[in-house]
Structures are given as C-alpha cells and as structure tokens.
Amino acid sequence: MTLIKTSYNRRSFLKVSALSGGGFVIGFSMLTGFKPLDKQVEESALREIFNLNSYIKITDKGEITILSPNPEFGQNVRTSMPMIVAEELDVEWQKVIVEQAPYNTQLYGRQFTGGSQSIRQSWKALRTAGATARQMLRQAASQAWNVPLEEITTEAGVLYHKASGKSATYGQMASAAAKIPVPKEVKLKEVKSFKLLNTPQKNVEGEKIVTGKPLFTMDYRVEGMLIAMIVHPPAFGLKLKSFDAASVNKMAGIKDVFSIKVYNDDYAREMFDTRTFNELVIIVGNSTWEVMNAKKKLVAEWEPISTSTEKVSFFGQKRDETIPAGLENTNLHYQKMKEMNEKPAEVLRKDGNPEEAFAKAAQIIERTYTCPFLAHNCMEPMTCFAHVTEDKVFLAAPIQAPEFVERTISARLGIPIEKIDIELLRMGGGFGRRAYGHYMVEAALISQKVKAPIKLIYTREDDMTYGIYRPTYIVTYRAALDANKNLIGFHVKGGGFPESAVHANRFPAGAIDNYLAESWALPTNITIGAFRAPRSNFIAGAEQAFLDELAEVVGKDPIAFRLELLKKAKENPVGKNNDYDASRYMGVLELVREKSDWDSSESKKRNRGVAAYFCHNSYAAHVVELSIKEVQVIVDKVVSAMDCGIVVNPEGAVNMVEGAVIDGIGNALYGNLTFKDGAAEQKNFDKYRIIRHKEAPKSIEVHFVKNEIDPTGLGEPPFPPVMGALANALYKATGKRFYSQPFQPELGKVGG
C-alpha cells in the first residue's frame, strides 16, 4: 500500500460532518489544499449537504452518494471520477449514487474539463478522499468493538472483525465515524489490489441519455422564462452601425429588441474570453419560433472595423493581441501562409548544425502540408439560462471552464463573485468550444436588461458563423539524406492564422543530430480557440505522413523506421528538452504492430497506413485499413493502441478512442470551413460536410498498454494521429500522397 498524507501536496481537503438523520459527509477539494471549511460553510453543510464540494455521503441506511466534480460533455468523467473514490472506499459500485457536484470554487478550486486533465490531475485526491472515509469507518468499528484497528477489514461496504465474527455495514457505523477526527495520513491501495478500477462499467447517465431525460441546457425551463436570440454581423471584419427595432417590435410574441456590448471597451480579456462581434443585437420573445421569425425580419446596418490591439491575460502572462481590419478570404490565407513559410522564422529549437547537414546532403526531401479552419459543431449549439436580479446572478449552462467565465461575468456586470451561482449542466458536446463562455456573459446581460429569466439559444447557423474555430495551418518538413540514405538533418517550419502548430520538442526532436524547428504566425479577425487536441490535431497528421514518405524513400518499413528513430532517442537522446518518453512511444507502436498483424505477408497486401503520436501526456498509435469504391473511402478496419497509464474504466476508455477515430477520419476527409469577404461560406450541415454513420469504420479494435503509471490523458491523444494513418493508407490505395486537408476533394481528382 501507498502511505499518503491527507494534506497531500496542498491539493485537497477533507471535512467530516454529522447529518441530522445519522451518517456522515466527506467533502474534498482536489486543487485547493486540505483545509477546514469556514464556519459559514460548515454550518450550511450540516443543513444542506448539496452545498458541499465533491464529497462522499453515507447515510445510516447505507446509501452512498459520490459527487463528480468536473463538468461532463461526453468523456464520461461523471462515471470514472466517482469510480476512483469508490475503489478506495471499498463499496459495491452498483449501489453507489452518482451526482454532479455544484460549482463552488471555495470548495473545489478549479472545476475545469479540458486538456485531457480531469483524471490525471485529480487521481490522488480522489483516491485520498475514498481512502480517508474508509479509514474513519474502520476506526469507528475498532472503537465500537474494542479491537485493534489493523484487525478491521472491509469489503463491499461492510466492516468485518473476523476473529470475533462481528460485522457492520458502513451505514451502521456512519454516525460514529462522523465523530472520528480526520486521520493525518492514510494508505492507498496497491494497483494490483484494485477491484473496481480497470473493470468495464456503463455510463451512469446512459439510460437517461437514451430515454431523453432532461439533462441538457436546451431542456431547461422555468415559469416566466423568455427566449433570447442574437443577430450578429454577417462577416468577420464588420461591426454594428445601426438597427431598426421598429421592424420587429410589433411582431407576435416579441418583448424587446436592443443591443449589448459583450465586453466593455477597456476590458482586458482572459484566455477564454472571446472578442467575436462585441456589439450584438438581441431579440427577446415568448417562444423560439417567434424570435427566429423576428431575426429574419430585423433590419441592421454594418460597417468595417478598424485595426485594434487588445490586452489579453494568458494564465497571468499579459500580452497584446492585434485584431486586423479587413474582410478575409480563404484563398488569400493560403497564399499568405505559403509566402510566410518561405521566409526566415523564429527559431524554436536547434540541435547540431542543420544548415551544414542540408548543405552536404546527397538528397533533400521537402513536403508542405495545409489544413483549413474547422467548426466545432457540437450537437447542442450554444445555449444558457440566466436569471439576474439585484441580489443574485443565476446561470445554468454547459461550460467547460466555469471559473474563468464567473470572473468575466463579475467584472462585466459589476457584481461580486459570491453573488454568482452557476449550475453545471451536461454539455451536448464540447471539444474545447465550451471553454469559451461568452454566451453566458451574453445571457446574463440580456436577463439583466429585461429583468426576467431568459434562455439564450444559438441556431446552428449562429454557432457556425459566430466563431470559435480550429485555426488554419501550414507546415513544411525537410529531411536531409546522405549518399547511403541515412537521415542526417531534419527541419520543420510552420505557422498559421493566428498561431503555429509546431511543437519544437516533440518527436522526432531528440532522435536526429541536426534538427531545426521554426515558427511564425499571422493575425486574423476570425476568432479561433481550442479544438480537440489543439495544434496537435494538425501537426500530428502532417508529421506522420512525412515520416511515412521518408521511410519509403530510405527503403524501410514505416513502423521499423519510427522505432529506429525512437531507439536513438531512448538510448542516446539529442538535447535535454524532449517532452516524450521514447519507451512509452515505442510501446504503442509495438502493440499496434502486433495487434494489427502488421508484419504478415497477407496484411502487407492491404491498403494500410500507420501513425503514432504523443500529446496530452499520453501515447496513441493507429493502423487504418481501407478500400476505395467510386472515389468513396471505405474504412474497413482500424486497430488502435493507447498508453494512457492505468485505465480507470475500460468501457468508457474504448468508447473515447472509438469516438476519436471516427471524429479524426471525418475531419480529415471532409472538414472544411472557408471564408469569402469575411463570411463563413458553410453555415449549416447542408454545406459543412461531416462524417455519416455509413462512413464510420466497419471495425475499430482498441488495445491498451498495461502498466501501473498514474492515469494520463485520453480524451484528446487518440484524435490527432488517426489523420496521418488515414493519409498513409490512402497513399497505399491510390499511389498518391495527400498534403492538404480535407482529403476527399483531392481523392475525387485521383479517380478511385
């Protein structure tokens, strides 16, 4: 067992309190440090346990409730996080009640879902909470039976003293346990002793989801609630000049028409604050249909923006961000990116003497890759319920980063944070889009203006034309080979609007003696933001496609070539800043080679492509096998290998990888958002192509490297490399390399 102090690394606190009907509650904060609750919260906890932070509640009847602290948008943390607590508590999972924890930064610290960090960051704190509750129950039994603590064992929510034959349920000991002081340290289970973790468990909300229970913000209704919608400029680079409210004020069901500013002019934005179309026209009415009709009739005038500079705080670091004037176009974007990629850029990393290596090279391989802007297209468009009164701001919303938007709302409305209450509702998709809470600020301002509860609803067209997008990128790879086709130099240079996707310290950095990474960026007035596996979602596919082509040029098997480079990085690494573990990287490649039967003569006849990548602390590898029928890609099989450390819930983990594979294939083949005169040309799914059910892989096999490493990320790591594996398989099928996403238009030119 692992001995751990309950004040572990200032990350958690535990508080025990007796319930009026017996039993006890343990609340724990995963990020703020073990510390006692203040007196006001303590008294409130005795009366209303739902005001506690993430906690364990055990009643005298033996009912056990575990609250899941982080927002849920489909990655299944509402199942996996309570499972971690339940493992150390030693209870039957089928008898556990799981609930969403309330949003409360005093109790939780940061309740943030993103970056594939939910499980990774909370692993020890969640385990500590379960182990502490179990220890206190054991101490209560020890005192009640007057026997040594070490003789008390537990199993499935029952305490045992085998020598005397005594036993008691957790519920029977709950009141006594509530009087036990919180232990200063507890023992955590050894991984080999896990009973619940690494066993497949169904989504705790699965039945509610498939039976249509009201879980989402779109389901939220209260008496007297009005519906609000937004009219925003028709193109990036424009702003509101004027509007005629009289054109819609007399329409049936319309209550008010007015404009708002999302942020004040002097506001210094935080990293998840957006500046898309700061001034908006708002229409408020009785029903969605009436407001939508009014939107079509509203007359508004727009005018060009001027170039401006805004202050942005990125995790406490201040920087200036330029918002250029003008109406942007996709064709011009690509032209400018290609021009920039031919110029000198900022050097991010330099090992050895790459200039000399390229000068002496017998052969140089150079390839350029591009990708477009992408829309998130969450199944549930942006929406938020808000009720703002003089005394309180209440919001119910699907949000990934409530702490950030809470501060913004406080600043914008001039209301203290303690008067803001946010209910965390299940998100109908996220992928980074809901980290940006501007729609909550908008909803709060609207409710404040009309002095009534409102629900702000974005249409699909609003969502697709009102930001936030995956940036558009370009990257050029160059490889220098000597006369014997040995790799002697490697150069990567890339950028985009408004950022670069180059990760200078990732593979193959560390595996090549002469290595150079360069980067640049161009400003845009098109709003971008996090998109599943930011930056990695492009650069991984490009890198892996280039490595595949390079392997062919040097005459080596694609997997063997990668493993050879990784062996160098493991045994004799170049540089000290390599941010990957070469052994783990090799592990997923070796596993996917084995499970896909990569080396068999029969398999080599198939159209297969491989790719592997490290991001968000985890390692993923895929082998994609496909065929083409009348220029339509048919993905016959995908074999995936993951190293994400200990797998908490294999069923949820497999689902996550399967979803990433399908999502990656769909985006690589079809995803494309283009702009003409500042306006998004794809406004709905009639023009924005996404993968269809019949186009999903016929088979997806998912395998996990078995180890005892604490869990790392899983929501994002499987996504980026599948695009490279797809590109490499397409080459096998067509004899043509694919350098620009989406692939499907180019595939049509090949002719099948």
Place of tokens 């908490």: 648
pLDDT range class, residue 61, cuts 50, 70, 90:
confident
pLDDT at 469: 97
Is the per-residue pLDDT at 17 higher than 80?
A: no
pLDDT at 8: 35
Is the per-residue pLDDT at 56 higher than 90?
A: no
Span 715-729, average pLDDT: 97
Is the per-residue pLDDT at 38 higher than 50?
A: no
- Compute, in degrees rounded to 10, the torsion defined by CA atoms 120, 126, 128, 130: -150
E-only strand ranges, 305-431: 308-314, 317-323, 346-351, 363-371, 374-375, 383-388, 393-397, 420-424
Torsion sign over Cα 396, 398, 400, 405:
negative
> pLDDT for 451-495, tens place per residue?
999 999 999 999 999 989 999 999 999 999 999 999 999 999 999
Q: Which residue has the higher pLDDT, 311 or 689?
A: 689
pLDDT at 108: 60
Span 414-436, average pLDDT: 93
pLDDT at 118: 87
Identical fold between 217-308+382-457 and 341-362+366-373+469-750: yes
> pLDDT for 493-514, tens place per residue?
999 999 999 999 999 999 999 9
Each domain of the chain, given as residue ranges in start order, spans 2-197, 217-308+382-457, 341-362+366-373+469-750
pLDDT at 49: 28
> pLDDT for 140-170, tens place per residue?
999 999 999 999 999 999 999 999 999 999 9
pLDDT at 116: 80
Specify the fold of 341-362+366-373+469-750: Aldehyde Oxidoreductase; domain 4 (3.30.365)
Phi, psi of 97 (to 5 degrees): -100, 130
DSSP symbols for 155-167: ETTEEEETTTTEE
27-41, 212-226, 736-750, range with the lowest pLDDT:
27-41
> pLDDT for 616-655, tens place per residue?
999 999 999 999 998 899 999 999 999 999 999 999 999 9
Span 31-57, average pLDDT: 39
Q: Which residue has the higher pLDDT, 77 or 20?
A: 77
Is the per-residue pLDDT at 752 higher than 80?
A: no
Q: Which CATH number is 2-197 given?
A: 3.30.365.10
Distance (Å, whole) CA 150 – CA 168: 16
- Please state which of the four CATH numbers 3.30.2270.10, 3.30.365.10, 1.25.40.80, 3.90.1150.10 is assigned to the domain occupying 217-308+382-457: 3.30.365.10
pLDDT range class, residue 1, cuts 50, 70, 90:
low
Span 28-45, average pLDDT: 38
pLDDT at 36: 33
pLDDT at 235: 98
Span 538-558, average pLDDT: 98
Distance (Å, whole) CA 230 – CA 457: 8
- Mean pLDDT rounded to a whole number for the chain: 91
Distance (Å, whole) CA 77 – CA 267: 34
Distance (Å, whole) CA 734 – CA 279: 49
Span 364-393, average pLDDT: 96
Q: Is 448 left (phi over 0), alpha (psi -120 to 50) or beta?
A: alpha
Instruction: Look up residue 545 and give its two tokens.
Output: 């496609």
Query: With helix as H, strand as E and coil as C, how does 543-595 read?
Result: HHHHHHHHHHHHCCCHHHHHHHHHHHHHHCCCCCCCCCCHHHHHHHHHHHHHH
> pLDDT for 239-258, tens place per residue?
999 999 998 999 999 999 99
Burial class (CB in 10 A: 0-12, 13-18, 19+), 747: buried
If one counts every other C-beta atom within 10 angstroms of the C-beta of residue 62, the result is 17
The pLDDT > 90 percentage for the chain reads 79
* CA 301 remoteness from chain centre: 37
